[in-house]
């Protein structure tokens, strides 16, 4: 260790404070921060400068990660409270045609059957409708225990990664090891 350095643990022992308001956004983050960086050397010449930079970094970083963790927590609560998955299926059918069923000729025959000419003839054109239509269906399936456990494990892993990334955001405030 260099001659004029100070460990983070020494900074705390000398009365240095953590940005508790920002760290409170994530439960238990203050203790994790102390445990992670207690043996690291602060990366600034004075404790006052370190405190300013620590507060700045906490104000910038903590709300972002708190929001991300809140999303994961909401998903976790959803898996625990309603163990069902909902699928939506849209079926689109092509064009529907009516086989020109209205095509035809109507002929009124004369009263006198000896002449071959009808008294009136009418013609109707067919009407082929080209309607495309869809069916929207919703299916609710019960999650199996294995699916629920896999989801909970994946969400816990995501929360762990987010907290680890948040802690790493603060590593620039400490001296690197070369």
Q: Are 107 and 123 in contact (CB under 8 A)?
A: no
**Considering Cα of 37, then 40, then 46, then 47, what sign does the dihedral take?**
positive
**HSE of 31 in the Cβ direction (CA atoms, 13 Å)?**
2
Q: Are 66 and 29 in contact (CB under 8 A)?
A: no
Euclidean distance between the first and the last CA atom of the chain, given in angstroms as a whole number? 11
**Strand extents, DSSP E, the chain:** 84-96, 104-108, 120-124, 131-142
d(CA 117, CA 114): 9
Q: What is the pLDDT along the chain (178 residues), one digit of tens a residue?
A: 455 678 999 999 989 899 989 999 999 999 999 999 999 999 888 899 999 999 999 999 999 999 999 999 998 888 887 766 667 777 776 665 555 455 566 666 655 566 666 666 666 665 555 566 677 777 777 777 888 888 889 999 999 999 999 999 999 999 876 5
Q: Six-digit token pair at 119?
A: 């008294």
Q: Are 86 and 139 in contact (CB under 8 A)?
A: yes
Domain residue extents for the chain: 1-83+144-178, 85-142
Q: Six-digit token pair at 145?
A: 């225990």
């Amino acid at each position: 260790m260099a001659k004029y350095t100070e460990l983070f643990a020494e900074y705390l022992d000398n009365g240095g404070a953590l940005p508790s308001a920002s760290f409170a956004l994530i439960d238990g983050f203050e203790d994790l921060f102390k445990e992670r960086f207690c043996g690291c050397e602060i990366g600034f010449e004075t404790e006052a400068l370190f405190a300013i930079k620590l507060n700045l970094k906490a104000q910038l970083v903590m709300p972002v990660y708190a929001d991300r963790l809140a999303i994961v927590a909401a998903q976790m609560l959803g898996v625990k409270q309603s163990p069902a998955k909902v699928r939506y299926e849209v079926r689109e059918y092509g064009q529907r045609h009516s086989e020109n069923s209205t095509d035809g000729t109507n002929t009124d025959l004369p009263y006198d059957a000896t002449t071959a000419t009808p008294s009136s003839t009418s013609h109707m054109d067919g009407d082929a409708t080209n309607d495309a239509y869809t069916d929207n269906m919703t299916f609710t399936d019960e999650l199996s225990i294995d699916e629920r456990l896999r989801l909970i494990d994946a969400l816990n892993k995501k929360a762990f990664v987010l907290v680890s990334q948040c802690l790493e955001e603060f590593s620039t405030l400490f001296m690197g090891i070369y």
